[in-house]
Structure 1
Amino acid sequence: MSVKFSHRLEYVAARAACGLVMFLPYRVMLALAWSIMGPVWAFSRKLRARTHRRLRQALGADKSDRELARIARRAYRNLVFTAVEGMRMPGMSRAWIERNLSPAAYEELRSQLAPGQGFIVAVPHQGNWELAGLALQAQGVQLIALVRRQKNPLMNDWINRVRRSTGVEAIDTKSTAVGEVAAKLRAGKVLAILPDLRAKVGGVPVRYLGVETEVPVGAARFALESGVPLFTAEVVREGWTRIRWRLTGRVDVTPSADTAADHQRIMQAIMTKLEASVRANPESYFWFNKRWVLGPEEQR
């Protein structure tokens, strides 16, 4: 892929911002970032209107417009804080991770697994999902993450270098390495996957947040191919700096004679668990994804 001038500008700006974020104390950087992005939210009428539509679509008529506005603003703040934390990832120590992330999920996992056993954990785009993965890494888990290639090749290479620096094995969703995931799981590695995206092609039908949609089949397919346990978890921001993540269930991945039916059953079980987490903690959810899980919005 050729590198455009705009790619270089974006890359230089991102590296400069990352340097500033790494230099300033954590809480100071969060406050500075929100002092800049809070007004951006206040004046972005189109973004606020779109977020309000999505919240109303997903949460129904029970909540008032005022309550939805509060949820939307908190969710946007979570997004800003998540971006700051993402830029600080290369410098995060194990002590920092353990201080700011609850270890409850890992302790639950350890009680249900044999030593060295691989597994899959499905989480929604919630809280800071990348930090949840780092928390596993900090406990000695060998983590795999499926990632999409960025349009900017400079940003793509840099982001992947950052991921590798934390010990995470990032696998491009369009690479042949995806075919090796099941073998890696059987060898004791762990796959963290975020299935709450609308599938462009080849998805399975599920009901999520009250709407019929289609999501990627990856979590179900890898679980059936590898035979490892499949869990769901939630990642919730509490206040500014505390991230709580915990298991929300274990999904039955016993295969039947009908693989397509297994895929649908497993993905629906996952999405049902994720929906409960989102409804309980809407302020932590990523309502701003361009690939809105509940369908195209051009007509809205």
Structure 2
Amino acid sequence: MRRIRYLIEYFALRATAGVCRALPHGAALALAWGVAGVGFHVVRFRRAEAVRRIVSVFGGAVTPRQAEWIAWRSWRNLFFNAAEMMRVTRISPVWLRRHVEGLDEVLIRMQALIEAHGGLVIAVPHMGNWDLAGVAGKQAGFDIFSIAGKQKNPHVNRWLNHIRGYSMDVLERGSSVLRVILRRLQHRGVFAILPDVRMPTPDLLVPFLGAQANLGRGMAQFARTAHVPVLPVILSRVGWFRHRMVAYSPVLADPTADRDADLLRMTRTVMEHVEAAIRQNPDQWFWYNKRWVLRPLPAQPLRSQSVGEPGAA
């Protein structure tokens, strides 16, 4: 039964992608808008939770109606992104320059940092069509790569990796991937990472959106170990068809500082840019992430103490 379900999911996804590729850009987005509308207004998938998150962050600064509007735009943007990435084979350098404001400035900044440091980490949060950063980097000739978990459906997993290959090289998580990342970073590679994801186990507590977010140290640690900078890059959608890409000041490690303190500083600096962008355009952020970045960690069990340890009776 599971095999049949996996095949149905796979062929449904392939059929949808085929339709999006066949349609003009505007028609593909119109289709995505309709599907998103059903999900938001009829099925109401995770809608209440997204609104709750928005209100928890902005409080009285937004009315219930404004919170609903932000939630809708965020949801619609997800479907727009999916439609555009299903058409990734039709995205050319000419298309990117026509549709992405600030693209050349960001690519020039990336090239300069690679020349100066031998590699680069780019921090791209879940804003706008964040996947376009990878597409642009790949088409500019950078060795751009990222890591992703394996999908349960093996057919979907292979197809997604094929599609992702048009934007960047995707490494599957595993014990050997850490060495691969460092080696590529030290040989002019560009490691793209989503910084606004909650870690399931205690790591770095970073002030974010009025609370404390438990974020991974990987972004900063890879950069510090490979002696390369972190470049925050934020995308936003302008209307239906256009995008804006902005790069902020690179974040460099301080080799003289305490390692843990430096990793925290680097991560906080990146997340300050992300928070400012979210507060300026909250509808551009993805409020539906299952790994809600501000969800508190479950209480950790106390480690039992043996006789003779500090604090033992």
Q: Taking structure 1 as the reference length, what is the TM-score of the superposition?
A: 0.92
Change (3 A) 1:226 1:3: farther
Corresponding residue for 2:85?
86
1:270 aligns with 2:270: yes
- Structure 1 residue 140, shift from structure 2 partner: 1.5
Distance in 2 between residues matched to 1:118 and 1:297, nearest whole Å: 34
Task: State the one-letter code of the partner of 2:198.
Answer: R
Distance in 2 between residues matched to 1:225 and 1:297, nearest whole Å: 28
Partner SS state of residue 157, structure 2 = helix
- Structure 1 residue 209, shift from structure 2 partner: 0.9
- Structure 1 residue 59, shift from structure 2 partner: 2.3
Corresponding residue for 1:136?
137
- Structure 1 residue 167, shift from structure 2 partner: 5.8
Tell me, yes or no, if the aligned pair for 1:101 and 1:135 is still in contact at 8 Å. no
Matches within 5 A, 1:250-265: 250-256=250-256, 258-265=258-265
Corresponding residue for 1:147?
148
Distance in 2 between residues matched to 1:112 and 1:174, nearest whole Å: 28
Change (3 A) 1:291 1:282: same
Partner SS state of residue 133, structure 1 = helix
Tell me, yes or no, if the aligned pair for 1:213 and 1:294 is still in contact at 8 Å. yes
Q: Which runs of 5+ in 1 are unaligned?
A: none
Partner SS state of residue 4, structure 1 = helix
Tell me, yes or no, if the aligned pair for 2:232 and 2:248 is still in contact at 8 Å. yes
Report percent identity of matched pairs: 34
- Structure 1 residue 234, shift from structure 2 partner: 0.9
Partner SS state of residue 171, structure 2 = strand
1:22-58 alpha-carbon deviations (Å, 9 max, x no partner): 1111101111221232133112446221111111122
1:46-74 alpha-carbon deviations (Å, 9 max, x no partner): 62211111111222321222221211111
Corresponding residue for 2:200?
200
Tell me, yes or no, if the aligned pair for 1:29 and 1:84 is still in contact at 8 Å. yes
Corresponding residue for 2:9?
10
Tell me, yes or no, if the aligned pair for 2:149 and 2:172 is still in contact at 8 Å. yes
Q: Taking structure 2 as the reference length, what is the TM-score of the superposition?
A: 0.88
Matches within 5 A, 1:274-285: 274-285=274-285
- Structure 1 residue 159, shift from structure 2 partner: 0.7
Task: State the one-letter code of the partner of 1:19.
Answer: G
Change (3 A) 1:167 1:42: closer
Matches within 5 A, 1:63-102: 63-102=62-101
Change (3 A) 1:143 1:29: same
1:9-31 alpha-carbon deviations (Å, 9 max, x no partner): 11111011111111111101111
Q: Which deviates further from its counterpart, 7-16 or 263-272?
A: 263-272
- Structure 1 residue 93, shift from structure 2 partner: 2.0
Report the number of matched residues. 296
Tell me, yes or no, if the aligned pair for 2:136 and 2:167 is still in contact at 8 Å. no
Change (3 A) 1:256 1:200: farther
1:117-153 alpha-carbon deviations (Å, 9 max, x no partner): 3111102101111111111222221101111211211
Task: State the one-letter code of the partner of 1:59.
Answer: F
Tell me, yes or no, if the aligned pair for 1:256 and 1:262 is still in contact at 8 Å. no
Q: Which runs of 5+ in 2 are unaligned?
A: 299-313
Partner SS state of residue 270, structure 1 = helix
Matches within 5 A, 1:193-272: 193-256=193-256, 258-272=258-272
Distance in 1 between residues matched to 2:56 and 2:123, nearest whole Å: 23
Distance in 1 between residues matched to 2:36 and 2:74, nearest whole Å: 12
Partner SS state of residue 255, structure 1 = coil
Task: State the one-letter code of the partner of 1:156.
Answer: N
Task: State the one-letter code of the partner of 1:85.
Answer: E
Change (3 A) 1:58 1:256: farther
Partner SS state of residue 46, structure 2 = helix
Distance in 2 between residues matched to 1:139 and 1:241, nearest whole Å: 21
Distance in 1 between residues matched to 2:237 and 2:137, nearest whole Å: 17
Task: State the one-letter code of the partner of 2:217.
Answer: V
Task: State the one-letter code of the partner of 2:284.
Answer: S
- Structure 1 residue 236, shift from structure 2 partner: 0.3
Q: Which deviates further from its counterpart, 115-124 or 92-101?
A: 115-124
Superposed CA RMSD: 2.2
